[in-house]
């Protein structure tokens, strides 16, 4: 039905429509100009835009021959497209000729340069290489900006200038994308999104319906690729984007820009309503993937600093607000961004913030179901809000997430105090830092950060999940067991993985519990591995902070350090200390103003490894951060742990209290096909029993286990007896 | 003269003076009460004080038998004295009986407990051990607070209660201090200051002139010890306190509290005018020792977090403001503290802030001359204020600084972006963190952080200065060469050390230069070592951040790490990589939003060591942070370096520029008895010549050196040809 409906809207573009008409329209430009002086956020954004161009006018124009991937010429071409796009908008708003002249002069320089370029000297391959940039990805971003700039100043150009610019650079570039790079153009992937957007935006700017249709439906216009297909496949029904939050931010922007241009030029497509308003859902669920500090949760390839203030999120959010139902919670986020897009949508946001229409954004516990049908596992987010501070627990049992995905099935991370407490390493890359391999992904991104041992999940036999094959990982997503966030006092989520390691079934259940027994929410973690064969199971906790105490008697490698292994990431871990223990393992660390303790059930075979990242790192690319690894050789095994925040440390007033945890012991009482029973005990006659169903997650089924002379019974997938 | 004048003021205390009369007086208490509701900072402080007591009332009173040094009982006794002192003030202000009852009830419990106590079970020695606390130091702090509380509630107590409290705890404690601990009481040291203050405050509270006189003039009243002698000897004429800023904060508080009590009870001593108003000078120069982030510069034994907001600085500052001339710049600092003391002085501060009388505090370049006569070297602070951000360069050529001093003569540190860029490690201690040796100094404080190699200065032959002897270091302070901060564009300081290593003369000259050639101030560093014998000279740079580039070809210890040495701190450094080079050494790192590069002259004998702290650290007490060490075997040698901040890194907007420095080469052109000539060259035909006199620092003397076929001439101790 959906496809049929769209087939009929391939209308011819109205050649006589007033310009600009892509992301902003002529009337929007007029409205912005008229609103100047009365809408603070518009004024400050406008002032910043003018300052950018004043700076550009004050310095020599430069369109250099591209030589690097992250150095001057790379950055210069990025600056150039930003300046041109901004100048275009300013011209549309003010009609000042100097802005149009700036775009014209620069485009004429590009028209001279571009035809002389072959493959970029730093290109990784013919396949991914651009001409102006080392990868086509950046080149598509260039064209997305330039198409807008060109549309804005089109009327100010002489016909000969238009001809020269279109024939020497704009059309050849689009031809490069839809011709030699057709496979990338038609790929269901964020690179594909940027490419179709660049082609489609240029199509609108040139009134070229053929280009627009290729962008919308693929180079063969067969709907196997192109923008619409991407809307179908890249998001779950809830709007979750499979690459994860860091790439969500990057991938979203072209969706919204192009959607805005489509809406202005082919309003009959109702693109914002498409797939039950998938674009509005994607933006909102993208915002949900922020840490308490406003950064994107950094699983998969991600730079940890990336935040809601990223420029890509500004335009996406503004468009969503204006075209996606004026959700007042988005204004709260826009206010934190502190800047709007110079467009009709941005004007609406600025105006409504000035009118105090914003409501607080409701960060919630949410299960991010993955896959186009929402059936490829999920990322579970549990949040708790005691006092004025948020705890966030993240458990990943989702799909692989394409090429930037990590082998981190059933990995978790934990946030408190607006900080990482148990971290996900993120990627190994120094974005745009030229001396660091031109700002590209570094070798250690593959050898370290993608590997399973780099994550807070079980590595089996010192090998990464799926033997490190992305293709194998893509074939087999994680499996949700259950997600129960209805009761704020006890929220539980559980995921499964049985394909990552042949013959090993894994199930991890994590609970975030608020109790008067504890000053802060505590985490219960039950990780069960089942196999018919014997394996080594390694479970790390990449804690952030300074180790202050442990129950483990260890030998410290004080005078010589060697790596923990030779491959699959183990070669990057220094062994700092190790010991064997039984009964209970405890280790405590201090992070900022609070203590944290992991208390974990151990048996006599448990080895505890204290490690630090940084071995085999000849170029100093890794952060030298610590972890404690619980290692066990067994056929089947349950790692049962409690993570307890406790006490207070305040170094200026020299206050320290409750450096010792309440929890003293964690014990696995039973682990059967039916279920797992874990007992947590501690000071003050404190005792919890946590029970998880190991079969189906039926809320009505009653489970009974007899163990240690006791009968344990509960109904539904889990229970906590306090 | 000074001593004579004081001899005549030993007046008898007026038994009939209204109470309280120590840090606050009866009329001040009335004035505070009357001002409630009209002075915001007073109101918020008062509200906090009341909340503290509400909390105390709501929980059981506990005066536990002391067992630990940093755990519950330690913290509880600290809480108790804070509550009692606060309750005393609140009683004086409000007259509400419950506050007096609280102090009475608790003191009666102490009167029961104290007589049963012997030496504290965690005491290090008879000499330093207390009874309530593991060291007498904490016990004196207890008495300083309790004397005030007792004075405040005195009138509300029955005579029998007074007798019991005085005879069972207060007088015995004072007797313990002035008897068995007389040596500590009379010692010219911050422990001595706390002790005399506790004894003197109790003396005033008990109207006991004998105790007061012992506090003022020593247990023998011979003026060889006691408060007045401390005022003579612990500060330089400018008010610099020889232990350095971290202990300044701690040491200052009793000076001001006791001075306030003296002024109320023996106004004829004019204590605030004593020694040319040394107390006001000491406070003001203490504030000057703040980093741009408002923390105390952490040389010597210091915890880096300690800041101007420390409670000790609040009371010291308030008293200084009120009794030391109402310097409006201090109000600026008080406003940042956000809290005042509940006293007449605090009331004045709060009132004048409400009246907007504050002026911005003028942080300046200043030479902190050390020693009672100001002739024991100095700590030089150079500051530069381009745009709205401060650069701070610290060079230490001061006295040893007593037992908490480090072997760091001619060491430096550098701040920018409100952060450490080249760090001083500080001490190895987790204050009050019970699992870390009860919060006391850790073994690595001695084996690592005091050692010379832990600092940014030259270590000779892998041995610490003065062979690690504090006594030897005390005998021989650093020597100032010159300090010239008159020209904001080029500020230069220079210090010397010739006793730290037998037969080695060392001179370090550092300049902070603001030039249109650089976006930020750059540092020129010329460290000359002269010896008749051959030595190994190691100069580390403890840079903060991520190494991004180096000109050195190195071998990395990727698969095995070993320590750099076996003693004097070298055993705590892992060798990560090393290489040899000649010509110029460059290494760059990224810290927060900026790049930094050290460019250093090297000859063919220069070895470059990349190291990381953390070897031989079995208890995980050290921070695993990096350094680059320049190593040279020579008789005499000049390390000439430039530290250049450059470029910008902004990960959210993905901006990076100028990752490469401007400076490309540093060369030592000449180094003679007469002077040293260093050339700095770089991009854009950039060339500087920096010249330093190696003889006397006479501003009128002309120096001439012929080298490399050129004649270099300058007048005065230094010159920079740009």
Q: With pLDDT > 70 as the criterion, what percentage of chain A qualifies?
A: 98
User: Among A652, A647, A709, which Cα is nearest to A677's?
Assistant: A709
Q: Are A132 and A120 in contact (CB under 8 A)?
A: yes
Would an 8 Å CB–CB cutoff place A435 in contact with chain B?
yes
| Spatial separation of the C-alpha atoms in residues B177 and B9, rounded to whole Å | 24
- Has residue B377 got a pLDDT over 90? yes
3-state secondary structure of B62: coil
Q: Please tell me which residue, A553 or A251, carries the higher pLDDT value.
A: A553
Q: Which residues on neighbouring strands pair with residue B629, listed in sequence order?
A: B540, B609
Query: Is B695:B673 a contact under the CB 8 Å cutoff?
Result: yes
Q: Which chain B residues have a beta carbon less than 8 Å from that of A431?
A: 651, 654, 656
Q: Is B260 helix (H, G, I), strand (E, B) or coil?
A: helix
What are A153-158's contacts with CB under 8 Å, separation 24+? Answer: A153/A87, A153/A88, A153/A91, A153/A99, A153/A100, A153/A103, A153/A104, A154/A19, A154/A20, A154/A205, A155/A19, A156/A91, A156/A97, A156/A100, A156/A101, A156/A104, A157/A100, A157/A104
Q: Does B250 touch chain A (CB under 8 A)?
A: no
Residue B6: pLDDT band (50, 70, 90) is: very low
Q: Name chain B contacts of A654, Cβ cutoff 8 Å.
A: 431-432
d(CA B620, CA A576): 9
CB-based contact, B14 to chain A, within 8 Å: no
Q: What is the pLDDT of residues B23-34, one digit of tens each?
A: 999 999 999 999
Q: What is the pLDDT of residues B625-665, one digit of tens each?
A: 999 999 999 999 999 999 999 999 999 998 888 999 999 99
Q: Inter-chain contact B659–A618, Cβ cutoff 8 Å?
A: no
Question: Is B247 designated active site?
Answer: yes
CA distance B331 to B318: 9
Per the CB < 8 Å rule, is A559 touching B615? yes
CA distance A459 to A631: 9
Please list the active-site residues of A: 247, 404
Cβ–Cβ contact B654 with A under 8 A: yes
The 3-state DSSP class for residue B151 equals helix
The confidence score (pLDDT) of residue B13 equals 47
- Please check whether residue A620 touches B, CB under 8 A: yes
Q: In terms of residues, how long is chain A? A: 722
Determine the Cα–Cα distance for residues A438 and A74; give it in Å rounded to an integer: 9
Nearest 5°: phi and psi at B507?
Answer: -140, 125
For residues A475 and A462, give the distance between their C-alpha atoms in angstroms, rounded to a whole number.
Answer: 22
B439 touches chain A (CB under 8 A): yes
A275 touches chain B (CB under 8 A): no
Neighbour tally for B224: CB within 10 Å: 12
Contacts of A502 (CB under 8 A, 6+ apart): none
Would you state the torsion angle of the CA atoms of residues A129, A130, A132, A135, taken in this order, to the nearest 10 degrees? -60
Q: Specify the residue for token string 């194998």.
A: A472
The pLDDT assigned to B385 comes to 86
**pLDDT digits over A420-432, tens only?**
999 999 999 999 8
CB A110 within 8 A of CB A145: no
Query: Is the separation of the CB atoms in A314 and A440 below 8 Å?
Result: no
What pLDDT sits at residue B4? 41
The model's pLDDT over A318-348, given as tens digits with 9 standing for 90+, comes to: 999 999 999 999 999 999 999 999 999 999 9
CB contact under 8 A, A615 and B559: yes
Retrieve residue A661's tokens.
């945890």
Q: Which of A167-176, A449-458, B123-132, B355-364 has the lowest mean pLDDT?
A: B123-132
Q: How far is CA B67 from the centre of its chain?
A: 30
Give pLDDT, residue B293.
94
Phi, psi (deg, nearest 5) at residue A721: -95, 115
Longest dimension (CA), chain A: 92
Q: How far apart are the first and last CA of chain B?
A: 53
Give the model's confidence band at B388: pLDDT under 50 very low, under 70 low, under 90 confident, else very high: low
Q: Would you call B655 and A435 a contact, using CB atoms and an 8 Å cutoff?
A: no
Q: Please report residues of A whose CB lies closer than 8 A to that of B72.
A: 657
Q: Which residues are CB-contacts of A685 (< 8 A; sequence separation ≥ 6)?
A: none
Give DSSP secondary structure letters for A499-513.
Answer: SSSTTEEEEEEEEEE
- In sequence order, the 6+-apart residues with CB closer than 8 A to the CB of A79 are none
Considering only CB atoms, which chain A residues are within 8 Å of B311? 653
Q: Inter-chain contact B562–A559, Cβ cutoff 8 Å?
A: yes
pLDDT band at residue A60, thresholds of 50, 70 and 90?
very high
pLDDT of residue A47 exceeding 80: yes
Q: Are A590 and A546 in contact (CB under 8 A)?
A: yes
Task: Return mean pLDDT, chain B.
Answer: 95
| Cβ contact, residue pair A574, B561, below 8 Å | yes
Residue of A nearest to B555 (CA): A618
Distance from CA of B306 to the nearest CA of A (A): 5
Interface probe with A: pick from B596, B654, B655, B661, most Cβ of A within 10 Å: B654
Q: Which 3 state secondary structure label does DSSP give B548? A: strand
What pLDDT, in 10s, does the model give residues B142-163?
A: 999 999 999 999 999 999 999 9
Q: What angle do CA A379, A384, A389 make, to 5 degrees?
A: 120
**pLDDT one-digit tens code per residue, B240-274:** 998 999 999 988 899 999 999 999 999 999 999 99
The C-alpha of B530 sits at a distance from chain A's nearest C-alpha, in angstroms, of 34
Q: How far apart are CA B448 and CA A69, in angstroms?
A: 42
Q: Confidence class of residue A387 from pLDDT cuts 50, 70 and 90?
A: low
> Chain B closest CA to A539's CA: distance in Å?
21
B488-546 tens-digit pLDDT: 999 999 999 999 999 999 999 999 999 999 999 999 999 999 999 999 999 999 999 99
Catalytic: which of B110, B114, B240, B247? B247
> What per-residue confidence (pLDDT) applies to A15?
54
* Confidence check: pLDDT of B5 > 60: no
- Give A374: exposed, middle or buried? Use CB within 10 Å, 0-12, 13-18, 19+: middle
Question: Is the CB of residue A171 less than 8 Å away from at least one CB of chain B?
Answer: no
B375 vs B366: CA distance, rounded Å? 15
Distance CA A574, CA A444 (A): 15
The contacts of residue B502 (CB under 8 Å, 6+ apart) are none
- pLDDT band of residue A603 (cuts 50, 70, 90) is confident
SS3 content of chain A, % helix, strand, coil (to 5): 35, 25, 35
Q: Do B654 and A431 touch (CB under 8 A)?
A: yes
Tell me, what DSSP letter sits at residue B186? T
B617, A558: Cβ pair inside 8 Å?
yes
Contact A618 B433 (CB under 8 A): no
Give CA–CA dist A652/A320, Å, rounded.
Answer: 45
Residue A365 has pLDDT above 70, yes or no: yes
The angle that helices A328-337 and A311-323 make with each other, rounded to 10 degrees, is 160
Nearest residue of A to residue B648, measured between CA atoms: A433
Residues 6+ apart with CB under 8 A from A314: A334, A337, A339, A340, A341, A346
Distance of CA A208 to the CA centre of its chain: 35
Residue of B nearest to A651 (CA): B305
pLDDT exceeds cutoff 50 at A1: no
When pLDDT is cut at 50, 70 and 90, the band that residue A505 belongs to is very high
Rounded to a whole number of angstroms, the distance between the first and last alpha carbons of chain A is: 53
Check CB contact of B612 with chain A, cutoff 8 Å: yes
The interface residues of chain B toward chain A in range 540-559, judged by CB-CB distance below 8 A, are 546-549, 556, 558-559
Does residue B476 surpass a pLDDT of 50?
yes
Query: Which among A305, A547, A655 has the least Cβ separation from residue B620?
Result: A547
- Average of per-residue pLDDT across A371-386: 95
Contacts of B654 in chain A (CB under 8 A): 431-432
| B436 vs A contacts (CB less than 8 Å) | 548
Per the CB < 8 A criterion, the answer to whether B456 and A571 are in contact is no
CA A672: distance to chain centroid?
A: 36
Angle between helices A311-323 and A245-265 (to 10 degrees): 50
Q: Which residue of A lies nearest to B595 if distances are taken between CA atoms?
A: A433
What's the pLDDT score for residue B71? 82
How many Å apart are CA B288 and CA B362, to the nearest integer? 8
Q: Where are the beta strands (DSSP E) in A226-336?
A: none
Instruction: State the smallest CA–CA distance between residue B38 and chain A in angstroms.
Output: 28
B8–chain A Cβ distance below 8 A for any pair:
no
Q: Where are the alpha helices (DSSP H) in A59-170?
A: 72-94, 97-113, 136-153, 159-165
Q: Would the pLDDT of B10 be above 80?
A: no
E-strand ranges in B301-377 read 366-369
- Among chain B residues, the shortest Cα distance to A565 is held by B559
Go through B664-696 and write b for each residue having 16 or more CB atoms within 10 A of its CB, e for each that does not: bbbbbbbbeebbbbbbbbbeeebebbbbbbbee
Could you report the per-residue pLDDT of B302-317, keeping only the tens digit for each?
A: 999 999 999 999 999 9
Interface of A with B in 385-404 (CB under 8 A): none
Q: Residue B626's closest chain A neighbor by CA?
A: A624
Instruction: Give me chain A's average pLDDT, please.
Output: 95
Distance CA A124, CA A36 (A): 46
Q: Can you tell me which residue has the tokens 């060469």?
A: B481
Tokens for B640?
């000439």
The predicted structure's pLDDT at residue B16: 65
Rounded to a whole number, what is the distance in Å from the CA of B455 to chain A's nearest CA?
A: 21
Statement: residue A11 has pLDDT above 60 = no
What chain B residue is nearest to A545 in terms of C-alpha separation? B623
* Sequence-ordered alpha helix ranges (H) in A154-244: 159-165, 171-178, 182-185, 190-206, 209-217, 227-233
């Amino acid at each position: 039905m959906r496809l049929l409906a769209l087939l009929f809207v391939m209308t011819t573009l109205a050649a006589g429509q007033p310009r600009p008409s892509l992301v902003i329209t002529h009337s929007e430009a007029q409205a912005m100009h008229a609103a100047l002086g009365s809408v603070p956020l518009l004024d400050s954004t406008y002032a910043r835009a003018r300052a950018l161009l004043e700076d550009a006018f004050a310095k020599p124009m430069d369109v250099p021959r591209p030589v690097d991937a992250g150095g001057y010429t790379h950055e210069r071409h990025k600056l150039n497209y930003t300046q041109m796009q901004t100048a275009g908008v300013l011209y549309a708003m003010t009609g000042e000729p100097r802005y149009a002249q700036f775009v014209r002069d620069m485009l004429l320089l590009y028209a001279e340069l571009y035809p002389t370029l072959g493959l970029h000297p730093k290109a990784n391959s013919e396949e991914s290489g651009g001409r102006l940039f080392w990868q086509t990805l950046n080149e598509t971003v260039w064209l997305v900006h330039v198409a807008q700039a060109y549309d804005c100043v089109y009327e100010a150009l002489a016909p000969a200038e238009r001809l020269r610019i279109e024939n020497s650079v704009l059309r050849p570039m689009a031809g490069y994308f839809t011709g030699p790079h057709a496979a990338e153009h038609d790929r269901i992937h964020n690179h594909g999104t940027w490419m179709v957007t660049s082609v489609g935006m240029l199509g609108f700017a040139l009134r070229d319906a053929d280009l627009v249709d290729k962008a919308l439906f693929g180079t063969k216009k067969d709907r196997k690729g192109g923008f619409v297909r991407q809307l179908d496949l890249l998001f779950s029904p809830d709007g979750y984007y499979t690459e994860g939050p860091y790439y969500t931010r990057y991938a979203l922007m072209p969706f919204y820009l192009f959607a805005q241009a489509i809406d202005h030029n082919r309003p009959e497509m109702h693109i914002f309503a498409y797939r039950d308003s998938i674009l509005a859902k994607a933006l909102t669920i993208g915002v949900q993937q922020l840490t308490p500090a406003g950064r994107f949760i950094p699983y998969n390839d991600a730079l940890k600093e990336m935040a809601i203030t990223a420029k890509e999120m500004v335009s996406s959010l503004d468009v969503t607000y204006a075209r996606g139902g004026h959700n007042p919670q988005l204004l709260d986020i826009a206010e934190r961004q502190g800047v709007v897009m110079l467009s009709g949508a941005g004007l609406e946001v600025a105006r409504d913030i000035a009118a105090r229409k914003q409501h607080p954004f409701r960060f919630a516990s949410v299960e991010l179901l993955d896959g186009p049908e929402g059936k490829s596992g999920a990322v579970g987010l549990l949040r708790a809000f005691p006092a004025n501070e948020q705890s966030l627990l993240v458990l990943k049992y989702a799909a692989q997430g394409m090429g930037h995905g990590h082998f981190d099935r059933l990995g978790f991370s934990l946030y408190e105090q607006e900080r990482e407490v148990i971290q996900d390493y993120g990627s190994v890359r120094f974005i745009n830092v030229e001396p660091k391999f031109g700002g590209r992904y570094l070798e250690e991104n593959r050898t370290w950060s993608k590997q399973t041992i780099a994550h807070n999940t079980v590595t089996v036999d010192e090998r990464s999940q799926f033997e490190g094959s992305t293709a194998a990982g893509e074939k087999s997503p994680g499996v949700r067991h259950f997600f129960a966030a209805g009761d704020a006092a006890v929220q539980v989520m559980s995921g499964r993985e049985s394909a990552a390691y042949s013959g090993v079934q894994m199930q991890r259940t994590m609970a975030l519990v608020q109790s008067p027994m504890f000053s802060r929410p505590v985490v219960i973690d039950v990780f069960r591995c089942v196999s018919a064969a014997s394996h080594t199971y390694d479970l790390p906790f990449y804690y952030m902070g300074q180790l202050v105490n442990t129950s483990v008697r260890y030998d410290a490698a004080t005078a010589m350090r060697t790596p923990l292994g030779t491959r699959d990431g183990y070669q990057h871990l220094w062994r700092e200390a190790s010991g064997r223990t039984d009964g209970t393992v405890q280790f405590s660390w201090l992070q900022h103003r609070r203590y944290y303790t992991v208390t974990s059930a151990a048996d006599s075979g448990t080895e505890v490894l204290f490690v630090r990242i940084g071995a085999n790192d000849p170029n100093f690319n890794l952060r030298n951060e610590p972890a404690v690894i619980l290692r066990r050789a067994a056929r089947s095994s349950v790692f049962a742990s409690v993570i307890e925040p406790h006490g207070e440390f305040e170094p200026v007033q020299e206050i320290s209290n409750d450096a010792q945890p309440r929890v003293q012991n964690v014990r696995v009482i039973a682990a059967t096909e039916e279920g797992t029973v874990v007992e947590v005990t501690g000071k003050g006659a404190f005792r919890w029993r946590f029970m998880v169903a190991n079969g189906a997650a039926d809320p009505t089924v009653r489970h009974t286990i007899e163990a240690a002379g006791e009968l344990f019974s509960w109904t539904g997938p889990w229970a906590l007896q306090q």
